[in-house]
Amino acid sequence: MIKSLTIVFRSFSSLFVFLFLVISVNSFAQLDHPDIDQDPNVDQVPLFLRQTFVPHQPVDAPPVTVNGFDNFYLGIDFAEPHMSHNPLDPKQQFNAFNINGAHRTMDGYDWTGSYAPNFNGAVAGDPVTAYDGAGNLYYQSMMSPITGAKVIKSTDNGQTWGPAVVAISGADKNWMACDQTNGPYANYIYTSMTNSGFTGHNFARSTDGGATWQQTFSASGSPLPGAMVAVGPNVLNGNNIDGGCVYFVTNTGNSFASTYTFYRSTDGGATFQLMSSQNFSGYVGTNVGGRNSVENMRTRPYPFIAADNSNGPYRGRLYLVYASNNPAGNGNKPDIFCRYSDDQGATWSSPVIVNDDPNSQNHHQWHPSIWCDIQTGRLYVKWMDTRDTPTSDSAYIYASYSDDGGQTFVENQRISNAKMRINCTTCGGGGTPRYQGDYDAITSYGNVAMMTWTDFRSGSFSSYSAYFPDFTMTVNPDMLNLSVGGTQFVDVEVPDVTLYDDDVIFTATVTPTPSSGTITVDFPSGNTLNTFPGSVQLRVQATSNVTLGSYTINIEGKGPNAIPVHRRTVALEVVVPVELSSFTAVTEKNDVILNWSTASETNNQGFEIQRRSKGEFERVGFVEGKGTTTEIQHYVFKDENVIPGVYNYRLKQIDFDGTIEYSPIVEVDISQPQDYFVSQNYPNPFNPTTTIKYAVVEDGLVSLKVYDVLGNEVASLVDTHQPAGEYDIVFDASNLSSGVYYYQFKAGDFTATKKLILMK
């Protein structure tokens, strides 16, 4: 399903291969071959590319984090990812991309790239994957030349692979599913593929864990790519058989008026019965060269099916999700539709539109993928979406789910954390419309799904994965100076979620282990969050004999089933600065008086006094330190005319060598004003605006006026009756000349006059 490619070359010989491929791609694109590669009803990888393609080396990289949200970057492959989740271990996941790029995670966070698993011969792409109920992983790819598809098996999540086995014969677009239940067909594997004559779709199965395969059925009809298989329970006519229904849907007819034909097997794929043929889908975007195209990205209304294997209220329900223009017709914009069947595909519900954007006719929604969770019955759907771009030429990945059997869907969530241009001219896909992959995937474990997609944000076929529902994770501060024998705190926060409503459990470790002494980390008020936004406090303590130097605090947050999982780090520097023995605060009316003492000081330049009410700490003053001393030192600082409210104060201690340490935080609550006051305007000097703050103790007449140096009134800012409270007013002096002015504040028996300077 590939038309062109981009590769990175590191030598002269690689450059020669690259130039040869570019010439081949461009030359081929200019030819008018009656060849199968040009058939708009075929989605296989072009032969010339299969013969010359050099796969990319995957990379092991940290996730891309934007505003606390993680997208896991897996490297650069060649689109069309598929992924699966081990039903026995939610941390184990596996992705496969064209043409043979594979990625796995054993802990749900660290992804490892596997370069070209061995299929015992060239492969032609269209990867699909599946786990059976015993935790065995199966990875399928079309053979090259395309005469069928091979399957390899792994018992350790893709770390090692067994021999490749031919699973099915055919010439285009394969699919695969496993029975993960404990029913009579437990661990059977099912696959489908367009047959070699392009006259129908083949079906095959394995009943012995992928060792051998038997083709048991072929559905006739002029095929379009996109036949799919799924497994569900048989719950009709008094039955309740896990894995008792195997579903096989074919895609036939016209590219712009597909016919979905549904077949069902109740004997583990040995025989099939025709259930219905439906004409649900039409154009997806625009007809370009006989293909459906969204902003010059080729696409197709594939019939994605899934069945509810849970023991919930919709057990046995069969789901169909597809993209189609709404309103129908060439050149309009597509929506994502969901239908369901409660009689095993014989009849279907009315369509439900999954995307919830207002005026969806102005936006493209296409490229869906689905999964129905075997534990909860939750139906997950993901797709590409242009609702955030008025010009519709760029997209994000969106997702939603249904907990009521596909009748309604929760508020759509944006999953990718960067926008991508749809028509990726630098990706190397080629063709008109451009090949940029024809499908991707989503899978789940309980209430958490993981999805994978090809992302064009960097102008390449970048490979990404992400969780949904999910939570953000931040740490503050992310750099910490800790004195020997001291204690510091880190706020670990979940500022936002994408519909995540479960616990987040935090753990922390310190690396490396100090050669002497200890550094301990714990959560004194608990390590679990279940309301969002929210935060927990991490306490960091060092013994007096700990080794000085640099360390890393590793903080992990994860769900109850170990997913989602996210990690953050805090850079820790252990130093010998000031030994702070006390730090307190008292209030006198609207003044805050800070007192602190030190038992000893080493290279102490001084203390910056910092205050915050909301947001970040701000500097309010500085007190010079005593350098180096072993004698007890006492300090005091008065923060005057503080507007009533709740404040945090801390000391930022600075050494002469630039080392910084923060004191514990003290909280101060200043109630309603006890005295009238008016602040010095800020900024001062100013141009052309400045702010004046004042407090009124009792309800009454308030006057605030500005005068020039001759005593002439130039502005009346306040002259009215006001209730008690704190106020601030912005004075705009745009119409005045530069110079010195005075403002006079009157309220009750209180009068104050202050100078301000206008500098233009």
Lowest mean pLDDT among 30-44, 208-222, 302-316, 425-439: 30-44
Whether pLDDT at 52 is above 60: no
Could you tell me the pLDDT band of residue 70, with boundaries at 50, 70 and 90?
Answer: very high
Contact 219, 263 (CB under 8 A): yes
210-235: average pLDDT: 95
Classify residue 241 as exposed, middle or buried by CB count within 10 Å of its CB (0-12, 13-18, 19+).
middle
What's CA 750's distance to the chain center, in Å?
A: 57
- Tokens in use for 603? 């290279």
Distance CA 72, CA 452 (A): 9
Could you tell me the pLDDT band of residue 409, with boundaries at 50, 70 and 90?
Answer: very high
Distance CA 306, CA 226 (A): 14
Q: Which CATH architecture has domain 472-573?
A: Sandwich (2.60)
Distance CA 593, CA 639 (A): 6
Q: What phi and psi values does residue 579 have, to the nearest 5 degrees?
A: -95, 100
- Tokens in use for 30? 């200019």
335-350: average pLDDT: 98
Sorted by where each begins, the domain ranges of the chain are 12-82+170-468, 472-573, 579-670, 677-758
Identify the DSSP state of 269: T
Residues in the chain: 760
Distance CA 315, CA 344 (A): 11
Q: Please state which of the four CATH numbers 1.10.10.10, 2.40.33.20, 2.60.120.200, 2.60.40.3080 is assigned to the domain occupying 677-758.
A: 2.60.40.3080
Contact 535, 529 (CB under 8 A): yes
Strands 123-131 and 137-143: antiparallel
Q: What is the pLDDT of residue 661?
A: 78
479-492: average pLDDT: 86
Domains 472-573 and 579-670 belong to one CATH topology: yes
Could you tell me the pLDDT band of residue 627, with boundaries at 50, 70 and 90?
Answer: confident
Cα torsion through 131, 233, 382, 142, rounded to 10: 50
Distance CA 76, CA 462 (A): 4
Q: Which pLDDT tens digit goes with each residue over 170-183?
A: 999 999 999 999 99
Look up residue 641 and give its amino acid.
N
579-670 classified as CATH 3.40.50.360: no
Could you tell me the pLDDT band of residue 26, with boundaries at 50, 70 and 90?
Answer: very low
Whether pLDDT at 492 is above 70: yes
- Tokens in use for 644? 């009533």
272-290: average pLDDT: 97
Whether pLDDT at 16 is above 60: no
685-709: average pLDDT: 93
14 against 540, higher pLDDT: 540
Q: Which pLDDT tens digit goes with each residue over 109-155?
A: 999 986 679 999 989 899 999 999 999 999 999 998 899 999 999 99
Q: Which pLDDT tens digit goes with each residue over 320-333?
A: 999 999 999 999 99
Q: Cα–Cα–Cα angle for 359, 360, 362, nearest 5°?
A: 80
Assigned CATH for 12-82+170-468: 2.120.10
Lowest mean pLDDT among 202-211, 358-367, 639-648: 639-648
- Tokens in use for 408? 């309604």
pLDDT above 90 as % of the chain: 76
Q: What is the pLDDT of residue 28?
A: 30
Contact 218, 197 (CB under 8 A): no
Average pLDDT, the chain: 90
Whether pLDDT at 511 is above 50: yes
Whether pLDDT at 625 is above 60: yes
Whether pLDDT at 528 is above 90: yes
Whether pLDDT at 683 is above 80: yes
Whether pLDDT at 380 is above 80: yes
For the whole model, what pTM was predicted? 0.75
Could you tell me the pLDDT band of residue 578, with boundaries at 50, 70 and 90?
Answer: confident
Whether pLDDT at 37 is above 80: no
Q: What is the pLDDT of residue 48?
A: 54
Q: What is the pLDDT of residue 53?
A: 54
Whether pLDDT at 599 is above 90: no
266-282: average pLDDT: 98
Nearest to 102 by CA among 122, 124, 82: 82
Could you tell me the pLDDT band of residue 56, with boundaries at 50, 70 and 90?
Answer: low
- Tokens in use for 287? 């007809």
581-608: average pLDDT: 88
For residue 533, whether the previous peptide bond is cis, meaning omega lies within 30 degrees of 0, is: yes
